């Protein structure tokens, strides 16, 4: 079974590469394409790749994910997150390829105080979230055979993410302030990648939108403290309000996702974020000796 992975040089794409190189997908034939090797914003380029090869699945890891830059670079964020998603959906439809697309908790405004369900109304409060939601709609409107997986606070030993930023700052500073009034769930990219492989190996036709994150709830302050504690970094960590650390893009205050649908549909047991963080930190240590 041949599988295309777009955005292969990014965090999640690199995680899939590590899984494959580690022998966790021996019965699957993966083709990895970085953004420079396959530009999903180019319809003809996508068509050539998909139609000329017999791909059973396309895992779309290509995305404009810099939340703050999206506020300034509207055109590029829209091209990648909306036009790119539409190009993949239309060509997957022609080539009979199942599309697995990664989306985000940022499609919600964060005004609820209970975990978000897949059917809750999407009300993005920033340009990044808006483009990701429009990308979802572009897929739904052009391709029946799709899985859209909304995730949150993705991190790993690869790419740019909160865990790696905290480890870098922890090595450079004696004190650090992190916001405590934004609540969600950290998600280890390896856990998400394994869920995608689980769906593929199950040959599931339960298409649709799903939420996936690790179990548990945390603020960014809680997440940072767990990183420093587990990695034995002695730092004076201070909790602050979002208003004390203004950013170009507004963040959802509450973005915990209800995962009942994906757990019940695929029989999953999801690790708690603190347990997965320990695994991620060990993996980070191995490649940063």
Contact 118, 209 (CB under 8 A): yes
Helical spans, DSSP H, in 160-219 = 162-172, 189-201
- Judge whether 174 lies within some domain: no
What pTM value is reported for the model?
0.97
pLDDT one-digit tens code per residue, 229-239: 999 999 999 99
What is the extent of the structural domain holding 123? 2-159+185-215+255-271
- Among the listed residues 128, 133, 180, 212, the single catalytic one is 128
- Judge whether 16 lies within some domain: yes
- The mean pLDDT value of the chain amounts to 97
Single out the residue of 233, 217, 70 nearest to residue 165, CA to CA. Answer: 233
- Judge whether 288 lies within some domain: no
- Judge whether 68 lies within some domain: yes
CATH number of the domain encompassing residue 109: 3.40.50.720
Is 128 part of the annotated catalytic residue set?
yes
pLDDT one-digit tens code per residue, 138-191: 999 999 999 999 999 999 999 999 999 999 999 999 999 999 999 999 999 999
pLDDT band at residue 288 under the 50/70/90 scheme: confident
- Judge whether 23 lies within some domain: yes
How many structural domains does the chain have? 1
Single out the residue of 140, 127, 66 nearest to residue 99, CA to CA. Answer: 140
pLDDT band at residue 289 under the 50/70/90 scheme: low
- Judge whether 150 lies within some domain: yes
Cα separation, 66 vs 194, whole angstroms: 24
- The fraction of the chain above a pLDDT of 70, given in percent, is 100
- Judge whether 50 lies within some domain: yes
């Amino acid at each position: 079974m041949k599988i295309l992975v777009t955005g292969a040089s990014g965090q999640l794409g690199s995680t899939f590469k590590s899984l494959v190189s580690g022998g966790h997908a021996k019965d699957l034939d993966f083709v990895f394409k970085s953004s420079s090797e396959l530009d999903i914003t180019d319809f003809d380029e996508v068509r050539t790749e998909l139609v000329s090869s017999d791909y059973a699945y396309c895992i779309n890891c290509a995305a404009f994910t810099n939340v703050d830059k999206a506020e300034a670079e509207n055109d590029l964020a829209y091209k990648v997150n909306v036009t790119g998603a539409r190009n993949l959906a239309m060509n997957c439809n022609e080539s009979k390829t199942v599309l697995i697309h990664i989306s985000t908790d940022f499609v919600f405004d964060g005004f609820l105080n209970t975990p978000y369900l897949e059917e809750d109304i999407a009300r993005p409060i920033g340009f990044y979230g808006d483009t990701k939601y429009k990308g979802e709609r572009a897929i739904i409107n052009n391709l029946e055979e799709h899985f859209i997986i909304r995730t949150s606070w993705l991190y790993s030993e690869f790419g740019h993410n909160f865990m790696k930023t905290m480890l870098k700052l922890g090595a450079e500073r004696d004190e650090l302030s992190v916001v405590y009034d934004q609540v969600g769930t950290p998600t280890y990219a390896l856990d998400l990648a394994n869920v995608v492989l689980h769906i593929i190996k199950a040959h599931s036709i339960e298409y649709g939108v799903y939420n996936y994150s690790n179990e548990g709830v945390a603020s960014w302050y809680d997440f940072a403290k767990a990183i420093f504690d587990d990695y034995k970094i002695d730092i004076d960590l201070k909790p602050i309000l979002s208003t004390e650390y203004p950013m170009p893009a507004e963040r959802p205050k509450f973005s915990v996702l209800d995962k009942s649908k994906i757990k019940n549909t695929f029989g999953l047991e999801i690790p708690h974020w603190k347990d997965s963080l320990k695994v991620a930190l060990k993996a980070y240590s191995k490649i940063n000796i």
